[in-house]
Structure 1
């Protein structure tokens, strides 16, 4: 990709990073390579495309160091450190993602509206048109309906088309850096093929991901909460029978020879741990595909051994 950009922009392109050179737009690839392109050589469409493909360094760095906790999150997610942000009482985190069709004239007001809607989240801009929100209290996280209401309000207030995506519940531990990196790649791939939806959950977009970017289909993109749950044999068997009986709780309980209340207890336990309400068809489809993905990976490991 960089070689193509170099040939296309020629002398307007450079890999000699100079943060003081404000005559260029600076970008960074996922593997850390930095490059700049003269602002006068870029059309608005080209700039928007580059902002979608790469991290905009100048814009990103201008906005991240305005609080201690934001510095710690930035260091953990982007730098060569495994030091978790210092947070008290946080065991679970969820990421929300947003994509704007055009850049905002007043991003500060946009951030204030997000903070007011969520209640003190951490917001990072990846470029002038997309970013993500860290919800450090996901037990109070928005439902899809509530997030959709916020997106609609922001669309009306700022006169810009916005698409939002709700990530998985993830453990607040050292694996979170890798989980975020995988999930962000998946969300970007889902976004490329899901422009009709204003708001979509990771679970709803997962089948689309398997079609658009099958190379990303790896158990590592899945929440540890989900992986642990389906590795419990009793829970796995309960889910499989529930799915085979078209999410019919009464029939499932009968097939499992247990009381309906016992089945409901197991389902509630799964929902509470993973944040996935498997009583909906789209979420049940996601869990079914996730189980197949995990089983395929495990069978390959056994075969290789």
Structure 2
């Protein structure tokens, strides 16, 4: 038993290592991973990098100072330090984006697993409901939910999670419908495994690859949507330093002081590019056709 467990553990490690080797060959994907890690470090260490007092404290004597040694990213119309606001903005934008994708991935996986594994009437009913929801664009659905619930961090997280659930449900359903007839699933069923154990032990581990790729790509879209909602006043309200909120606050001064919108815009751009590069790299690394 110990030898079998050690072999399985070694096999699992070798598979992860082979995926990492293929991912590492993609220089753009590695660059995206490094960039995302830098952004995540800034988000996690925001309290140690910049005091939150600098984010919300207004000092009209310091307004519209251009980027320099004292204020790396300059100051805005209220004299607030833009560097501190952008760093703390990473904390809000990335945390809500990642949290929304994790919630929607969990709920979508359960719904898709039930539909794909059992099929028949259950699948038909669930998929027709999903089709109705997917007929509404994700951004429009998020706007509708936020408009109904009101602005706020928690409400925005709920809206983003709900808007992404149908996508993951569809992906999981399609994967499970292709896996449920495999020989190892039939063998596990013949040994008397229950449906829940079959799904969790046999089917889900073999569907992680496409799900990870979909999650990384959806995360980029989620960050972009969060910033868009905040920009139009339906996301995180001011003075909370979310990237879209920073853009919205400074849009009237963009012509005279372009750095006020350029810097948070670049932050959004870099985060979306990094996540898309990672998603493309994972898609290539996890594709069985590219193993050889």
The structure whose RCO (Cα within 8 Å, separation 6+) is larger is: 2
Q: TM-score, normalised by structure 1?
A: 0.22
Greater strand share, 1 or 2?
1
- Relative to its length, the structure with more helix (as a share) is 2
